[in-house]
Amino acid sequence: MGNAAPATLLKSPREIEIMARGGAILHATLMHAKAHVRPGISTMELDQLVESFIRSHAGAEPAFKGLYGFPGSACISINEEIVHGIPSRKRILVDGDIVTVDVGVKLDGMFTDAAITVPVGTIDELTQRLLDVTERSLAAGIAAAVPDNHVGDIGAAVQAVVEAEGFGVVRELVGHGVGFSPHEELQIPNYGKPKRGKKLSVGLTIAIEPMVNVGTPKTKTLSDKWTVVTADGKRSAHFEHTVAITEDGPRILTLPQG
């Protein structure tokens, strides 16, 4: 049994409302990027669209630009790339690809984080199932994010959905606390056992982000020191929301608010 998450990570209602405003901008940013995903566009073009869209909202900034030295505003990862793909003019999307767009927004000192994986043109049936299962596993993880549940309940919920479909859930990368900074100390694995790990308290804000592979869950990092790929070269999908733990259950902050 875990102890409660540190009180220093808990957000006030006012801080959560700021995050919800930033999260609404972030959701709109991802939908803007998705609308421009097509064969022939480069990942650098997508990154520039993301940055200009975020900055078109008063006070909003791309949280990832320069974070730990990352050069882009979005992590853009294609096919077997799981996370942290660096935008490039040389990376051109082609029909049948999938592309993950992972973005953070800073607004009034508070941070949110979200990701989607988008088909490029027409994708095969297995790849579509990968996207559907990953999105379903995120929904299951969010549903477990209720007061007095534990971090392990979230991971167990994600893992159950993924492994029932025969896919691999990445273990070497995890979700995390988010809010006062882009990455807060609490780790949110996408696997686990119920009632294990830190207890979820009202006011906690976390990024839940299943990364799901068609084959092995194992990963490796490319020579650029950023891009993480599947060890077997098979495809990976990634969906993420920032979620607040509230007395009324999980509140997804990276959706339109209203």
Q: For residue 157, which amino acid is it?
A: A
The answer to whether the annotation marks 61 as part of a ligand binding site is no
Angle between helix 125-143 and helix 151-164 axes, rounded to 10 deg: 160
Contact, 26 vs 110, CB < 8 A? no
The answer to whether the annotation marks 241 as part of a ligand binding site is no
3-state SS of the chain: helix, strand, coil percent to 5? 30, 30, 40
The answer to whether the annotation marks 32 as part of a ligand binding site is no
What number of CA atoms fall less than 13 Å from residue 188's CA on the CB side?
A: 32
The answer to whether the annotation marks 238 as part of a ligand binding site is no
The answer to whether the annotation marks 183 as part of a ligand binding site is yes
Q: 140-172 in b/e burial notation, b at 16+ Cβ within 10 A?
A: bbbebbbbebbbbbbbbbbbebbbeeebbbbbe
Rounded Cα gap, residues 29 and 21, in angstroms: 13
The answer to whether the annotation marks 176 as part of a ligand binding site is yes
The answer to whether the annotation marks 84 as part of a ligand binding site is yes
Binding residues: 84, 102, 113, 176, 183, 209, 240
Binding residues for substrate: 84, 183
Binding residues for a divalent metal cation: 102, 113, 176, 209, 240
